[in-house]
Amino acid sequence: MTYKQVTDSCFAPGQLDKADFAALKSQALKALDELRAEEKAGKLPIISLARETADLAEINQFAANIKQNFETLVVLGTGGSSLCGHALTGFKQGNFSTAKPKVVFMQNIDPATFSEFFATNDIKKTAFLTISKSGNSIETIAQFLVCLELAKSLDIKKHFFSITMPGDNPLRRISAKHNIKTYDHDPNVGGRFSILSLVGLMPGVTSGVDAAKLRKGAWEFYTNLAEQAAEAAALHISFMRQSIWHNVLMTYPDRLEDLNIWYRQIWAESIGKNGTGSTPIKAMGTIDQHSQMQLFLAGRKDKFYNFITLKTTDSKFKIPKAGEPEFDYLSGKSLGDLINAEQKATIETLVNNKRPVRAIELPKLDDEEMGMLIMHLMLETIITAKLLGVNPFDQPAVEEGKRRTCEYMRKNG
């Protein structure tokens, strides 16, 4: 089995017309060709990063330092500055991981969370990585200043590190005052698309990701399978034209939950402009089979269902005989057998109820497959935005909220 996208149900009776779709797919493939020309000309670093190797030594050196000297790495940041790294560490460090160092993301500014962290962690064994592309994100600067104050008894330059754009900005100036090593964030790489850069990889490698293999998988998808992303983009547009304005992504492996959250950002912030764009909905099997499936099957037919499935092999967790006749069929089966059945049954149920479904089938989930999946989702998002006629790389609507926040803080000062 190889990495595969399955779209057959999208062309079942009552769904898409193949002839109409062919014309739209042709436009999507043309948009992909334009992206390839931009990448070849050095104008699309979010893609070119997949074949970059020169920065890996610096990334690996950072991770080695954290592993050797600290028990915890706290990542300070919000939005893409946090979600990119979280997607990768979630892939490597599950909820019950005892691996050291543990990578923790302070994605919010809730004081209760900060209080809990500092009450339960040894700050002497903690490193802090502050990430802000602009260097002036109010939430990130506030987090940074609070942590600096709480850690003032330590050797700051050994415990703190920063990532921001080159040039003059508040994060770089504050870091310089404390002799904090600051790494350069490429100005041409948008925060939400920085997952293959040091923004995603410094936390990711610290948690165990092999950066070279991750990028290898991403480049493999780009060079050999990118047409699948173009096809998916054409599907999204086709269903939007049928007034299907919700994009459900259901992932089954627990290790993909944080990737799903990252995808929600890149889709919403790249597509949602000029009064258009579908709403991303995060779902997880099997929990959301019990919490959202009633809506998916019997609610409004305004959703396009996208699955990421994994063929799970499991020889460890066999289900013993229950002693209850109605569960005899489980005896000798495994949890892996059950999750495989759940994936298949859920997809078939949606298809039988005439809901449009696309599935990405993973043969395994390692660093290279993760890289392929990341590139797939990024390209799909960018091409969809281009077909909608919107800029996939800006986020103008976000700025008003930032401005008002600053105004309220100044008034209450």
- Supply the residues annotated as catalytic: 269, 290, 402
Dihedral sign of CA atoms 132, 138, 142, 148 in order: positive
Which DSSP symbol is given to 167?
A: S
CA distance 37 to 253: 35
Tell me if residue 17 falls in helix, strand or coil.
coil
Residue 314 C-alpha from the chain's centroid: 26
Is the Cβ–Cβ distance between 298 and 313 less than 8 Å? no
In one-letter notation, the amino acid at residue 113 is T
- H-only helix segments in 138-193: 138-150, 156-159, 170-177
Phi and psi at 110, nearest 5°, equal -70, 115
Is the Cβ–Cβ distance between 192 and 84 less than 8 Å? yes
Q: Please list the residues that pair with 6 across neighbouring strands.
A: 359
Q: Please list the residues that pair with 248 across neighbouring strands.
A: 281, 305
Is the Cβ–Cβ distance between 90 and 218 less than 8 Å? no
CA distance 410 to 413: 5
CA distance 74 to 205: 14
DSSP letters spanning 337-400: HHHHHHHHHHHHHHHHTT--EEEEEES--SHHHHHHHHHHHHHHHHHHHHHHT--TT--TTHHH
Is the Cβ–Cβ distance between 328 and 321 less than 8 Å? yes
